């Protein structure tokens, strides 16, 4: 269809009685289809969207749209209400989108977005809230969306200190309060609400700890599966030594008031998870500082008839808050195996991680009104479909990434690490102030730079953090540190 035909269809939809969520999706779809509708207003300046022009539309439309949304009834004359009728007629007549009429379309979209603000489950219930608003918040607290409309789901976004810079993404960047998620076959977005009073209105974790857990691939049990696959598990003969090492590291990191602790990929299992949970409960029962959440690494778990590489996140009492399955299997090349000491034997061959990945789900967790957290396991950090779009649209603020990787090589003629894929993956998710990606690596495949934090722990933040990681030293002389701590202010 031409832009004129799309504008005519949109005008017809907004002229007839239409539900508020459907109206939002119709304008959103028009902007997504025609990029000049997203960003064509830029030459006019921000004042053409923000400030008085938008306030005028919002003040006229907000109560009408909000009440209709809560009462699940259609609204008549939305095109006039939002002030987009003349713009759509102009687009139909000229066959093009101008800066002026694109500004009106965006203002209309933002006016609907504004009408749906304040429904985040962490928001304090206002005295003017109706019973239906309170009931909707109750549904959001158990992870339900604001609305499901055909193949789309609408969710509230977390609060942000600043809206992302324009032009950094797609039409979703025009919205501040609502996330539009397209529902995809064999992929589910799950919202979990786990509000933490201790975080108050924090927009970022203040202190982060990383526990590498494993210092050498020989501390894990490696198994070749057939000719093309492999798996990694806890090693019975080293599990006690690892548990003691992790408990000591956890105590030291917790005493420095880390709010979140990360452990890496495929270093965990029933024994370690049980030991970590017990240690957290013990510290909490004694009133000692305890992380709000602890990502207890990942392990292979049998789930619904399949094998999953699964991360488990524990609360301060040691209880599992959520789990996240890996979304993409890793290919461990023969070259990589040779470079890290042949963990699968002296005759390396390219092998695929022996896990199941379908159907898949992305678990997104709200810890307060500002912090929305997700776990991406190693390969998932650099793979795009379909989770990357969901993360960006949902306004995720914090990515926790357990990985298993070699130590980064040094940049030519410097003592600085070349972070390569880690930096690329992490930075793709931190596009607004307060956003962070934290990465935890083990010593499983690390064969050099054993005493450098960048072999194990990484933090990518906006604004960039100027602090440095502090090592938690091992008891054995010359051994690699057993943990790392970073203060973020």
Collect all residues with Cβ–Cβ distance below 8 Å to 437 and sequence separation of at least 6. Answer: 381, 398, 399, 401, 425, 426, 427, 429, 430, 458, 459, 460, 461
- pLDDT at 347 > cutoff 50: yes
Residue 346 confidence (pLDDT):
93
Q: What is the mean pLDDT of the chain?
A: 92
Residue 168 confidence (pLDDT):
46
pLDDT in tens, 223-233: 999 999 999 99
Predicted structure pTM score:
0.95
Q: Cβ of 444: how many Cβ atoms within 10 Å? A: 27
pLDDT in tens, 356-400: 999 999 999 999 999 999 999 999 999 988 899 999 899 999 999
Collect all residues with Cβ–Cβ distance below 8 Å to 373 and sequence separation of at least 6. Answer: 293, 364, 365, 366, 367, 396, 397, 398, 399, 400
pLDDT in tens, 192-211: 999 999 998 898 999 999 99
Residue 40 confidence (pLDDT):
86
pLDDT in tens, 430-456: 877 778 999 999 999 998 888 899 999
Residue 194 confidence (pLDDT):
93
- Sort strands 207-210 and 483-487 into parallel, antiparallel or unpaired: antiparallel
| Banded model confidence at residue 33, pLDDT cuts 50, 70, 90 | very high
Residue 129 confidence (pLDDT):
67
Residue 436 confidence (pLDDT):
94
- pLDDT at 295 > cutoff 90: yes
- pLDDT at 299 > cutoff 80: yes
The whole-angstrom distance between residue 332's C-alpha and the CA centroid of its chain comes to 26
CA 367 – CA 390 distance, rounded (Å): 18
pLDDT in tens, 250-260: 999 999 999 99
Residue 167 confidence (pLDDT):
47
| Banded model confidence at residue 9, pLDDT cuts 50, 70, 90 | very high
């Amino acid at each position: 269809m031409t832009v004129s035909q799309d504008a005519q269809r949109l005008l017809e939809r907004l002229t007839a009685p239409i539900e508020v969520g459907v109206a939002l999706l119709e304008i959103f779809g028009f902007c997504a289809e025609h990029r000049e509708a997203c960003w064509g207003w830029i030459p006019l300046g921000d004042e053409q969207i923000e400030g008085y022009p938008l306030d005028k539309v919002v003040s006229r439309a907000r109560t009408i749209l909000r009440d209709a949304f809560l009462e699940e009834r259609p609204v008549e004359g939305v095109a006039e209400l939002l002030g987009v009728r003349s713009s759509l007629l102009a687009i139909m007549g000229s066959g093009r989108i101008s800066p002026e009429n694109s500004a009106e379309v965006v203002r209309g979209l933002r006016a609907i977005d504004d009408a749906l603000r304040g429904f985040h489950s962490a928001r304090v219930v206002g005295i003017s809230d109706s019973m239906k608003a309170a009931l909707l918040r109750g549904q959001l607290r158990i992870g339900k969306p604001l609305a499901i409309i055909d193949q789309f789901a609408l969710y509230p976004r977390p609060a942000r200190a600043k809206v992302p810079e324009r032009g950094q993404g797609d039409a979703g960047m025009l919205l501040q309060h609502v996330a539009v998620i397209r529902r995809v076959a064999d992929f589910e977005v799950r919202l979990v609400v786990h509000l933490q009073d201790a975080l108050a209105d924090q927009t970022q974790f203040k202190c982060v700890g990383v526990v590498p857990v494993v210092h050498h691939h020989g501390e894990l049990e490696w198994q070749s599966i057939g000719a093309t696959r492999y798996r990694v598990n806890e090693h019975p003969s080293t599990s006690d030594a690892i548990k003691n090492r992790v408990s000591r590291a956890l105590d030291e990191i917790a005493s420095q008031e880390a709010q979140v602790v990360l452990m890496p990929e495929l270093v965990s299992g029933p024994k370690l998870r049980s030991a970590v949970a017990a240690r957290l409960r013990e510290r909490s029962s004694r009133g000692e500082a305890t992380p709000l959440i602890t990502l207890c690494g990942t392990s292979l778990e049998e789930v619904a008839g399949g094998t999953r590489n699964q991360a488990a996140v524990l609360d301060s009492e040691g209880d599992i808050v959520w789990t996240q399955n890996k979304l993409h299997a890793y290919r461990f090349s023969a070259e990589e195996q040779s470079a890290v000491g042949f963990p699968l034997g002296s005759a390396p061959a390219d092998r695929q991680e022996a896990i199941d990945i379908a159907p898949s789900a992305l678990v997104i967790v709200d810890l307060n009104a500002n912090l929305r957290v997700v776990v991406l396991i190693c390969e998932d950090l650099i793979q795009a479909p379909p989770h990357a779009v969901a993360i960006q649209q949902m306004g995720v603020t914090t990515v926790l990434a357990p990985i298993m990787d070699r130590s980064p090589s040094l940049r030519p003629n410097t003592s600085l690490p070349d972070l390569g894929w880690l930096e690329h993956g992490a930075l793709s998710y931190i596009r607004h102030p307060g956003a962070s990606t934290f990465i935890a690596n083990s010593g499983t495949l690390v064969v050099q730079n054993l005493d450098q934090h960048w072999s194990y722990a990484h933090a990518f933040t906006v604004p960039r953090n100027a602090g440095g990681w502090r090592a938690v030293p091992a008891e054995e002389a010359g051994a690699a540190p057993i943990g790392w701590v970073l203060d973020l202010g």
